Chain A
Amino acid sequence: MTELALKGAPVDRARLLRLLQEYGVYAGVAVLLLVNIALTPHFLSTENFRTQAVQVAPVLIVALGMALAIGSEGVDLSVGSVMALSTSLLSLYLGYGPWVALVVAMLGGAVVGLANGSLIAFIGVQPIVATLALMVAVRGVALVLLPQLKDVRDPGMASLGTGDLFGVPYLVLIAAALALAVGFTVRRTTFGRQLLAIGDSRPAARLAGLPVRRVLITVYVIAGVLAAIAGVLATARLQASDPTSLGTLMELSAITAVVVGGTPLSGGRIRIGGTVAGAVLIQLLTATLIKHDLPPSWTQIAQAVVIVLAVYAARERGKR
């Protein structure tokens, strides 16, 4: 069908590229699954699927917030540092009970998001620079609060990190629930529509009387809180707080998941389903390379190539 259409009119080439861009990530996941089923021993086991799903959960949660930021024609480079901040806060306040610690950690993420959003919305600083400054400063704050790795011995945290409901790990359930919530917010709420309008054209949104500043600040606060949740979950899974290394390069993985999933960097459009698939794709890619004894260096180079290919594919459909 598409073959014929291709010969017919050049318009259909654009359509094919669009299809590729929108659904390519699912095809990629399918291909990687098939390759692994065929080549990787013990890939088709419940245990393996659990491991992969648990590992992808924090990346996905961070990517959800990143998708909102990118949809608003911004980006949030501070998410990895927010994870480090939330793990430090969690360790410090665990003495007051896990719920207090959880709330404080999420508040920490919200405050960073508020700072990001204010710099961007009120002062007009470019998102890359504002969040880059916060990325460095917040990692520093996390290290000031908790200078080194600390074990987290808390039964509540342990069950959060390793427990499950009907065989599905809590981490996966939480990630899925958050993905549904963010997807619903983007598609069905006024806030979601305003966010997309602002991402599409900020001057137009302003002229239309949309509350641009409030929406932008909310976006970065949500991104901060989601990153903090991811930090808490990663801490619960590892049962240790490590503000030095937790979340390093997370901004890169999250951006990759979002972009590979078909959300354009130029804003105005958010694909949550694609973001989920993008996060799964990265995880599968990494797992595949590691399972077949390719060293971490190759994994990094492969991820870089995937990013560039995804952005290149997305470019065709862009605003130009």
Chain B
Amino acid sequence: MTHTHTERPASATGGGPSPAGDGSDEAPLGASRAEALSALAQQHGALVTLVLVAVGASIGFDTFLTGDNLENMAVSSAFLAIVALGMTFVIITGGIDLSVGSLFALGGVLAAWGSRYGTLVALLLPLAVCGLIGLVNGLLIARARLAPFIVTLAAMLAARGILLAVTDEGSTTYLVDESSFFASLGQEKLLGVGVPVWITAALFVAGAVALRRGRFGQYVYAVGGNEDAAALMGAPVARTKIAVYTLSGLCAGLAGALNAAWLVSGVTILGTGMELEAIAAVVIGGTLLTGGFGFISGSLVGVLLLKVIQNVINQIGSLDSAYQQVVSGAFLAVVVIAQTWLGRRRRMM
């Protein structure tokens, strides 16, 4: 099903280009029409696919467009979206962070454990620990010049180890007091929309502003575009890299904490495979894995697309989670193929 949809980015925007959005500063170099079109497909293909899948789902399933279902999808998307936000910065610098799934789980457990000492501890403890691990990732990558995937793979292992140590080898589950203010961060609604969704929206606005308008954002793009050139032009390459990995750790820890508030417990087995989901969302959203190009709003669309597809799979009751894995893996492969193909065409022209 999704295979046919995902081929849309090329053809759909080719037929009628969607109006240019925020990320159009990369496309026009006064170059040919085809080049502009494939750049557009790269930027808005995910959005077109999302709309098509959502329309298809709402026609196919009566239960899709109900308030409960949408609300549930929005809240469960929120946690992945926060992780994907940090991952977007990392990938634009040309790096990758495989530790986010473990940090998400660790953040949740630490928040649940800390919630007995108040909301401040419940939020600050996971942010401090996960941010510190992200900082160490960044130091090893930027200062010791180790390969990002191996450093963050090791961090993934170490964070799971810390999580096991904190939970008596996974046998203890810490609960969050349901009446606490911390729990309300995950449970309460504001204007009918869950608090985690509001927090996510605020973070995405802040992230987009930082990336698009701030000097930090310029450095992030410069480092990912060409590290040596960025260094020659005076960009603080190492500091920028350290910052993005720290940011990624902070995002994963915060997402884990909010998730613990939502589930009112710190579940130790969460987060496996989340790094893949986050990377998939970022890549689907049009950010290039080679670095130097990408945008925040695309990652949000990528997350929503993944969650809508998961929702559709869940609605087809007969398909279990194993199929979900098959579809998400195949989906990522197809998107990366499309993206690589579009990127190659763009380079060749």
- Residues on A facing B (Cβ under 8 Å): 75, 119, 123-126, 128-130, 132-141, 143-144, 147, 249, 252, 255, 259, 265, 295-301, 303-305, 307-308, 311-312, 315, 320
Contact = CB atoms under 8 A, between A and B. Distances in A.
B344 interface: yes
B337 A308 contact: no
Interface residues of B, number: 47
Contact of B341 (A123, A135, A304): A123
A124 B325 contact: no
A137 B150 contact: no
A140 B323 contact: yes
B287 to A, nearest CB: 12
A304 B161 contact: yes
B344 A124 contact: yes
B169 interface: yes
Contact of B146 (A130, A143, A308): A308
A6 to B, nearest CB: 22
Interface string B256-291: 000000000000000001001001100100000110
B214 interface: no
A289 to B, nearest CB: 11
A298 B273 CA distance: 22
Contacts of A305: 154, 158
A129 B169 CA distance: 31
Contacts of B324: 140
Say whether chain B's binding surface is mostly helix, strand, loop, or mixed. helix
B340 interface: yes
A137 B333 contact: yes
A66 to B, nearest CB: 12
Give me the 8 closest cross-chain CB pairs, A-B, nearest first.
A137-B329, A140-B325, A300-B161, A297-B164, A143-B322, A140-B326, A136-B329, A304-B158
Say whether chain A's binding surface is mostly helix, strand, loop, or mixed. helix
B149 interface: yes
Given A123-B341, A130-B333, A255-B153, A144 B326 contact: yes
Nearest to B290: A126
B230 interface: no
B279 A132 contact: yes
B340 A307 contact: no
Given A125-B340, A130-B336, A304-B155, A299 B150 contact: no
A315 B160 CA distance: 26
Interface in B316-334: 320-330, 332-333
A76 B29 CA distance: 37
A301 B162 CA distance: 7
Given A301-B162, A315-B145, A134 B150 contact: no
